[in-house]
Amino acid sequence: MLAIPLDLPDLWQQEAVRHLRAGRDVLVGAPTGAGKTRIFELYVESGDAARRGQAVFTVPTRALANDKYREWRQRGWNVGIATGDVAENLRAPVLVATLETQRERLLTRQAPALLAIDEYQMLADPRRGLNYELALALAPPTTQLLLLSGSVRNPADVAAWLERLGRDPALVTERERPVPLEEIPLENLPRVPDTITGFWPRLAAAARRADLTPLLIFAPRRAEAEKIARKIADALPAESPLALTPDDAQLLGRDLARLLPRRVAYHHSGLPYAVRAEWIERLAKRGDLHVIVATTGLAAGINFSVRSVHIAGTTYFDGPFQRELRPDELLQMFGRAGRRGLDSRGAVLVARNSPHLADAAPRQLRRVHELDWPTLLRVMEEAAARGEDPLTAATALGERLFSRQRVSLGLDEPAAESDAPHRYDPTREEFLDSENVWRPRREALARTAPLGACLARHGDRWAPALSIAAVAEKFGPGRLCKLDPVGRHRSYGKELIVARREPDGRLRPTAPLAQTLHLPATDRFTDADFLAAVAPLLDLGGARPLALVDRPPMVALRLDLAGILVPTLADAHQRDLFAPPLRRARIPTETSYGDFQPRAGTPAHAWRKLGLVDGCGVATARGRVFSRFQAGEGLMIAAALEDPTYPVDELVRHLANLRGGHRFRDHEGASDRLAVASRAAYGHVDHEGYLSAGLCEGYGEGAWEILERAAAGKMPEGEDLRRGDLERARLEWRSLLRHITHAPPAEAPRWNELQAAARNALATA
């Protein structure tokens, strides 16, 4: 009898498809890896989607969009893609897209027949949640909605919101994972030979012995991910190595070309897309890698599963800021363990201080506290074009938001003050200077200085940074120790165990140190020789070796931290302050603006202050330009267009800075003309979500110059700037240029010139 494997949908998948075929909206809650996307595929394959019109499947990242696009094309589907930087076959029956690319269609009432939103928990994302909220609020009754997520705690609240909008949602929930997860303490893993040293190599070797690979390790930062991967690859024996051609090695770079043959890789946003997608992710999906070390910040973009997962830490850097992993993010990361059809169980490997399964939980969705100003202004403009009252249209949209409480826009209310907090008034960032006076942040000079020359906050006073144990603890390897006092203050340093004292008085380096420096096991050193020949080879994070100290039977290397360079704010007294207290302070504003006097603290009041609406509440030329964009980038573009001395061709190049990000900030030789134009128009003010010190969030003033140098082969990569960063910056620039060329007309000075210049730049870039 011939056995034919059948891909039968689960009952909950069949239920969701039945609701879609009945014309209802559907919200699906199911664990990561359970097969939520299969619902969309089944509906498309049934033929119902094609009969009703275009079906759009939106995902949070470009990488996931490209992945789905390739997969569905390989199936023979007629599918298009829209991700900002790429727009192909846009009229296809199926379109895979990032949600932001569908904004214009929703605003102009050209919505698709089906809008599927994968990972709809993004509704509560502080940066992109506004786009998700407005997409659902603007979707017409003729557009069916399919919302998918594995990490929402209150889907019934979202369904109730859709009911308030006059929709007919069905809620489909599946709680059982197709591949159950089990938690395995590291101490329960098999023992490995003593010849394998170091935490990460021993973890990887134990996972291999327990048949728990592929293993995915999440690390907080790029440098840590690379370091962990190198340590594992160096320690593990090479088994059936992967073969690479010289061309492969050149694409991958020296580091990955050395790791991949040993079936070990790291994965982060600093890598070019081709390396991530065509190599690491492809090999991971095929099960050809034993260990992948990925950065925590890229977790949402990972589209492969493994047998086991370990999370190295609960904090990571989101742009320039460090933040804690949320329980729903842990849930998604743990969900990568267990491959359907390959594993009977997935494993979460836990150490004493690492996250456990009990730490993961779905997210309670609440609407973000801001409003999408550009979309509201566009709604007003579109309403006026149809002969409708724009204030009524904007107010009606405000009442459709994900909140039972009325969201005040300030469009039709008196200007009288109220007790409501002035959330929408401009603010500025302030810092506490060395004389304990709050000063505007812009008065401080950001620079680097030696840690030993810095002041830091200790309780309610300033003190030398290295006299504070909590500060010294952050720097250099080893344990904290006290050094000789400096004046009337104690001074802290570090001690690092480096050797064992032999009976003859000589030093035998510790096994980890000898392995790291590739020292022969027979090497012995006098104290003087060790300080002269071995200590300079150590990675001490900028610390300076001081002396060797006996800690019988071991010997420690004492380190001076004073020379480590750290970021500081230099105040008006020329004192370098390490991590000074910061706060946001409201800037008092006038509340009378002619005929249109919106109440202080409302969005309309902020629009009036920024010059986005006139005395009658109608969008100005600046407001019309602003409304063509998202977040605060439209404010900067509008300010630049208002400066007749700013050549449009030059502005188009500088647009690369708008989405450059923190890695391109403070670049030497960077042009600041776009920043100057913005601050001249708005001042050094903050409007949360739109302006920070007069610039849009994510602004990186050195992006264009770095891209220009890289194109000429003159830009070396540094610790914080990689090939993937340059690739992303160029992609974001081209995406913005494409957005401008396809944006609707705007009655504003030089707008047509900007569109023409953007079109020319796209053709030649």
233-272 pLDDT, tens digit per residue, is: 988 877 788 888 888 888 898 889 999 999 999 998 888 8
Predicted pLDDT at 591? 41
Lowest mean pLDDT among 310-314, 353-357, 366-370: 366-370
pLDDT average, residue stretch 673-693: 89
Number of CB atoms found within 10 A of residue 500's CB: 15
- Greatest Cα pair distance, the chain, in angstroms, is 96
Task: State yes or no: pLDDT of 177 exceeds 80.
Answer: yes
pLDDT average, residue stretch 9-31: 95
Asked if 11-173 and 181-359 have one fold, the answer is yes
Predicted pLDDT at 298? 64
Task: State yes or no: pLDDT of 6 exceeds 60.
Answer: no
Cα 257 versus chain centre, distance: 27
Task: State yes or no: pLDDT of 671 exceeds 80.
Answer: no
Predicted pLDDT at 413? 52
pLDDT average, residue stretch 398-405: 77
What's the mean pLDDT when you consider all of the chain? 87
Task: State yes or no: pLDDT of 402 exceeds 90.
Answer: no
Give residue-wise pLDDT tens across range 326-344.
898 899 899 999 988 888 9
Task: State yes or no: pLDDT of 505 exceeds 50.
Answer: yes
Unique residue bearing structure tokens 């909220």: 133
Where are any strands of DSSP class E within 119-192?
144-149, 169-173, 181-185
Sign, CA dihedral 250-251-256-257, equals negative
pLDDT average, residue stretch 294-307: 78
267-272-275-278 Cα dihedral, nearest 10 degrees: 110
C-alpha closest to that of 412 among 603, 609, 591: 603
Question: Which residues, listed in sequence order, are joined to residue 95 by a DSSP beta bridge?
Answer: 56, 80
C-alpha atoms less than 13 angstroms from C-alpha of 21 in its C-beta half-sphere? 15
Predicted pLDDT at 531? 93
Identify the band that residue 130 occupies on the pLDDT scale cut at 50, 70 and 90.
Answer: confident
- Provide φ and ψ at 300, rounded to 5°: -65, -20
Domain definitions of the chain by residue range: 11-173, 181-359, 432-582, 620-764
440 residue type, one letter? P
Percent of the chain with pLDDT over 70: 91
46-47-53-54 Cα dihedral, nearest 10 degrees: 60
Q: Say how far apart CA 13 and CA 100 lie, in whole Å.
A: 27
Selected from 3.90.1010.10, 3.40.50.300, 3.20.20.70, 3.30.365.10, the CATH number assigned to the domain covering 181-359 reads 3.40.50.300
Cα 15 to Cα 42, 170, 190, 506: the distances in Å are 11, 10, 44, 75
Q: Say how far apart CA 380 and CA 390 lie, in whole Å.
A: 4
Q: Say how far apart CA 268 and CA 296 lie, in whole Å.
A: 9
pLDDT average, residue stretch 184-199: 90
Identify the band that residue 4 occupies on the pLDDT scale cut at 50, 70 and 90.
Answer: very low
Unique residue bearing structure tokens 């709604």: 379
Q: Which residue has the higher pLDDT, 10 or 641?
A: 641
Q: Which residue has the higher pLDDT, 752 or 85?
A: 752
Q: Which residue has the higher pLDDT, 320 or 618?
A: 618
Predicted pLDDT at 613? 87
pLDDT average, residue stretch 414-427: 50
Predicted pLDDT at 385? 81
C-alpha closest to that of 639 among 570, 572, 703, 685: 685
Predicted pLDDT at 547? 93
Predicted pLDDT at 655? 96
Predicted pLDDT at 700? 87
User: Which residues, including other chains, have CB under 8 Å from residue 676's CB and lie 6 or more apart?
Assistant: none
C-alpha closest to that of 439 among 248, 347, 572, 310: 572
Unique residue bearing structure tokens 């006290």: 482
Give residue-wise pLDDT tens across range 424-472.
567 778 899 999 999 988 889 988 999 999 999 998 899 999 999 889 9
Identify the band that residue 716 occupies on the pLDDT scale cut at 50, 70 and 90.
Answer: low
Give residue-wise pLDDT tens across range 537-577.
888 888 999 999 999 999 999 999 999 999 999 999 999 99
Predicted pLDDT at 76? 93
Q: Which residue has the higher pLDDT, 108 or 80?
A: 80
Identify the band that residue 419 occupies on the pLDDT scale cut at 50, 70 and 90.
Answer: very low
Task: State yes or no: pLDDT of 369 exceeds 70.
Answer: no
H helix or E strand, kind and range, residue 218: strand 215-219
Task: State yes or no: pLDDT of 593 exceeds 50.
Answer: no
> Contact 98/58 with Cβ under 8 angstroms?
yes
Predicted pLDDT at 321? 63
CATH superfamily of 11-173: P-loop containing nucleotide triphosphate hydrolases (3.40.50.300)
Predicted pLDDT at 592? 41
C-alpha atoms less than 13 angstroms from C-alpha of 681 in its C-beta half-sphere? 23
Percent of the chain with pLDDT over 90: 51
